[in-house]
Every structure is written in C-alpha cells, then in structure tokens.
Amino acid sequence: MAATCADPCHVRAPVICYRWSAVADRCPGRASSALREYNSKQFAGLFRGVSVVAKKKARAAAPPVPRSQRAQLIQRLQTLRGSHIICYVTNTRQNLEVHMALDVVRYVFEHLERIKAAHADAAGKPKIDLFIHSNGGDGTVPWRLVTLIREYTSTFGVLVPNRAFSAATLTALGADEIVMHPMGMLGPTDATVTNPFNPIDPTNPQRRLGISGEDVAAYIQLIKDDAGIQHEDELVQAFNLLATNVHPLALGNVKRSMSQSRMMARKLLELHMDSTQRHKIDEIVDSLTSKLFFHGHPINRKEAREQISLGTVKDASPEIETAIWNLYMDYEQEMKLLEPFDPALEFGRDHDLLTMVAAQPEVSQRATNKHAYVESMTLSHLMSDEYVLQGTKLPNGAVSVTLMNLKRGWVKNELQ
C-alpha cells in the first residue's frame, strides 16, 4: 500500500511515497533473486521548499564493465594465484540486498565443467579459488557449494575482498586456504531465522521478524546471570513468558537452526582438518556461533587467525591484494554497491514532480538491477531484473511511486 503522509508541508510541495508492488514481492532467502521486502516508510521522500525542478531527462547510467576487461582482471588474478578463479558476488547494496541461495549451485557447476575441460590434458586436478562477496543467505548453500567445488580440485581456496558474512563465512570454512584482503571481513555464523510462526513486524504487518538463536540464548542467560534467577520454577515462568510472546514452534525452529549451523561449520572444517584437531574445531565453532555476541560483528584477518584460531587465513601478497581489489571494484561499480537503492529518489530525478498532473500516471524508462554474478575467465552468469517505476500524483500533492518488475532471471554470456 502507498505510504500515508500527514505532514502539512506535503500539500505545499511534491512528496514521493514508495510502495512495493505485489509483482516484485519475493520471499527473502529462497533464491538469489530474493530481495528484502521494503518498508514504504523507508522511501518516503520529502521535498521542502522546492522552487525549481530539473526537466525530465534520462539518467546517465554508469557504463557496464566490458566483458573483455572483466576477463582480463580474472586472468591477472589467476596468474598470480596459479589457480582457476570462480567469482560469486551477490548484491550488498542498501535496500537491495540479495541472499546466497541454492539456485546458484547449478551455474557454478557449468563453470567447474568448463575448468575441467580446459584442464583435461594436465595431470591431476587444478587448483580452484572462489572469489566471494556476500552478506550471506541460505545456510544450506555452503555445504552444497563447497563439496561440489572440491570434486573438481586438489586445492580449494576462498578469496575475500570485502564482505563474506554468515553463509559466506561458512563457505570459507570449507577451504584449504582463505586469502583475505585488508578490507576483507568474515562474520559470526549464528542463525537468524524467519518462518510463518515468527512474530509480526509491528512496523510492517506484511513481514515476520527474524529471530536470532543467540538472542534467545542471551535472554535465558540474562534471567540467570543478571537477574539472579536460579530456581527451577522461576526459570520455567521466565521461559513461559517468552513462549507467550513468541510461538513455541518458532522457538523450536530457532533451536533446530542453531544446531544445523554448528553442524555445518563442523562438517566444513572437517573437510580439511583431521580428527586429531577435534578440540580446535570445537573452539572455532563455538567462537563463530556463540562467543562474538553480535551477528554483525566484522572479523578481520588478524582476529580470524589469532582469536578465532582459523589457521587457514592468509594475508595476500601486495600484488595479489591489488588484483583482488581491482576485480572487486569492477563489481562494486557495475552493481552500484555503494549507492542505496531508492525508487522514490530515482523517479524524482527523472520527472518534473511539480508539473505532474494528478491521477495521470507517468512511467520511468526501463532500468535494470543486477542481483548476483557467477563468473570465470570465459563465462558469465548474471541474475538481474528489469523494472519500471510508475508515479501517480495524489490529490494532496504527494506522488505515489510503484516499482513493477518486468523480467527476472539468470542470463548466460561468454566473456570472450
């Protein structure tokens, strides 16, 4: 629904109120195309004291990176690493975050098969590096992705240029080597889960609040340690209070997800650590799932080695650092990772809001959002959607903007 605006200045100047089209509403975490649902209040733009608005014109979009240039950047990194590079980049743009999801495994498989064919005449299996940038996503993706890649390689490395949070951190745990740029960050692997039994978001009744497993555990610890409640009957009362506000099945799902996250981390570490290191594996799992306290805590490469005890974390040489960063910067530019996605402002840049006629919708030019890339030196898969913005001026002078998706899916291209 369109945002409602009660501010009297809305009558004096155009206001853009954004609403999320039902065509575009997708469930986060189910596929790489899944976007976080927008709260219409996020996109209410207020134009105070507007006297001059630029005439309607097409925005100058940043030119896409030439495919040959991308291939050259990947080839440069491959040469320095002595490996084959597969890039997996999901959009981390504000208001357009995209999750890791199982659909990507199908496309990674194509890249692995091409690498296998290129290496057919060589002895042994090639070294493969996964260049990854993501805020995380589906917790089942790391195991499927890592075990598939390991079938094609003798040595598996993960390259972290910037963000590798949550499920991306789990993916890195399955590597023989994690090469982190100085800007590279890992993150805790505790689960935050959403299901139909979760509480409703009071700011947006169409959404369910995510529940962090560590938040539930911290509540119990708060009762025991800070409130000093130790008696069994009182602890039961405290838990019943929690279960009154959070559906018991949602709490059960939290427990199951916490157990699954710990199991996944352990299994991935055991792919390259032997049974004599079981104690160390347990320490790493405990640190990543419960000892960092905050799911958004960024783990730099020094902390990863010295406090998390990840011995697989390595510093890159200056040349490799430069190559990693140059490749990341190309993705950052093309996917507009530093530019928040704001349909209201986007529509306002292209349309003269003051001269719009009430109840006569105007439609923006077709545009594209790039959600995820899977690329190697000769092959590219892009997950994107095409959309238009429709703006309608309301009787009170506000402009309601609706995003309508026209096409969404994966597209395959050759880089050379």
* Any domain includes 51: no
If asked whether residues 145 and 209 sit together in one domain, one would say no
pLDDT value at residue 288: 87
If asked whether residues 103 and 151 sit together in one domain, one would say yes
pLDDT value at residue 214: 65
Q: pLDDT tens for residues 106-146? A: 999 999 999 999 988 788 899 999 999 999 998 899 999 99
* Any domain includes 409: no
pLDDT value at residue 218: 67
Question: What's 126's DSSP letter?
Answer: P
Q: Quick check: 62 pLDDT over 50? A: no
pLDDT value at residue 36: 34
If asked whether residues 97 and 196 sit together in one domain, one would say no
Q: How confident is the model at residue 102 (pLDDT cuts 50, 70, 90)?
A: very high
φ, ψ dihedrals at 324, nearest 5°? -60, -45
* Any domain includes 146: yes
Amino acid (one-letter) located at 266: R
**Domain with 86 in it: what CATH number?**
3.90.226.10
If asked whether residues 173 and 217 sit together in one domain, one would say no
Q: What is the mean pLDDT of residues 44-50?
A: 30
Q: pLDDT tens for residues 237-274? A: 777 777 777 777 777 767 667 777 888 899 999 999 98
If asked whether residues 121 and 252 sit together in one domain, one would say no
Q: pLDDT tens for residues 292-304? A: 656 668 999 999 9
pLDDT value at residue 66: 61
* Any domain includes 132: yes
* Any domain includes 312: yes
Record the tokens describing residue 346, joined without a space: 């986007």
More confidently predicted of 120 and 279: 279
Number of domains in the chain: 2
If asked whether residues 325 and 202 sit together in one domain, one would say no
If asked whether residues 240 and 311 sit together in one domain, one would say no
* Any domain includes 244: yes
Q: Quick check: 79 pLDDT over 50? A: yes
Contact 325, 183 (CB under 8 A): yes
| CA 113, chain centre distance (Å) | 26
Q: How confident is the model at residue 200 (pLDDT cuts 50, 70, 90)?
A: confident
Q: Quick check: 231 pLDDT over 50? A: yes
pLDDT value at residue 207: 79
For helices 232-245 and 248-270, the axis angle rounded to 10 degrees is 100
Q: What is the mean pLDDT of residues 178-199?
A: 85
* Any domain includes 350: no
* Any domain includes 343: no
DSSP for 45-100?
A: EE--S----PPP----PPPPPPHHHHHHHHHHHHHHHTSEEEEEEE---TT--B-B
More confidently predicted of 52 and 302: 302
If asked whether residues 197 and 231 sit together in one domain, one would say yes
Please tell me the distance from the alpha carbon of residue 11 to that of residue 150, in angstroms, as a whole number: 62
More confidently predicted of 75 and 287: 75
If asked whether residues 201 and 327 sit together in one domain, one would say no
Q: What is the mean pLDDT of residues 307-311?
A: 92
If asked whether residues 114 and 261 sit together in one domain, one would say no
If asked whether residues 182 and 236 sit together in one domain, one would say no
Structural domain range at position 74: 67-191+273-284+292-332
Q: What is the mean pLDDT of residues 264-285?
A: 91
If asked whether residues 268 and 215 sit together in one domain, one would say yes
